[in-house]
């Protein structure tokens, strides 16, 4: 049998076993959630930056009003 064909068969057998194994499903779900959150941050980066800047500006204004 061709060595490349044997290697391919072994890789496919391990991939099937990996996909059937449900032990790591919690990890996969957490990784997917993190990927979605990162995507949302990238999409709404400017809006998030604006909100954070407004909050810090308000904090500085309030600090100046309190300290005189």
Domain limits for position 48: 24-68
pTM above 0.85, yes or no: no
Query: Taking the alpha carbons of 56, 61, 65, 68 in that order, is the dihedral positive or negative?
Result: positive
Quickly tell me which residue has 């496919």 as its tokens. Answer: 12
CA distances from 66 to 31, 52, 53, 55 (A): 44, 21, 20, 16
Q: Is 35 within a domain? A: yes
Tell me, what's the pLDDT at 54? Answer: 94
Tens-digit pLDDT profile for residues 15-59? 888 777 766 667 788 899 999 999 999 999 999 999 999 999 999
Tell me what pLDDT residue 42 has: 93
| Angle of helix 25-43 versus helix 45-67 axis, rounded to 10 | 70
Query: How far is the C-alpha of 46 from the C-alpha of 49, rounded, in Å?
Result: 5
């Amino acid at each position: 049998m061709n060595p490349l064909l044997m290697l391919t068969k072994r890789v496919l057998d391990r991939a099937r076993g990996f996909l059937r194994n449900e032990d790591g499903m919690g990890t996969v779900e957490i990784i997917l959630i993190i990927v979605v959150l990162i995507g949302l941050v990238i999409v709404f980066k400017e809006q998030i930056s604006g909100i954070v800047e407004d909050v810090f500006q308000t904090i500085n204004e309030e600090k100046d009003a309190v300290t005189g």
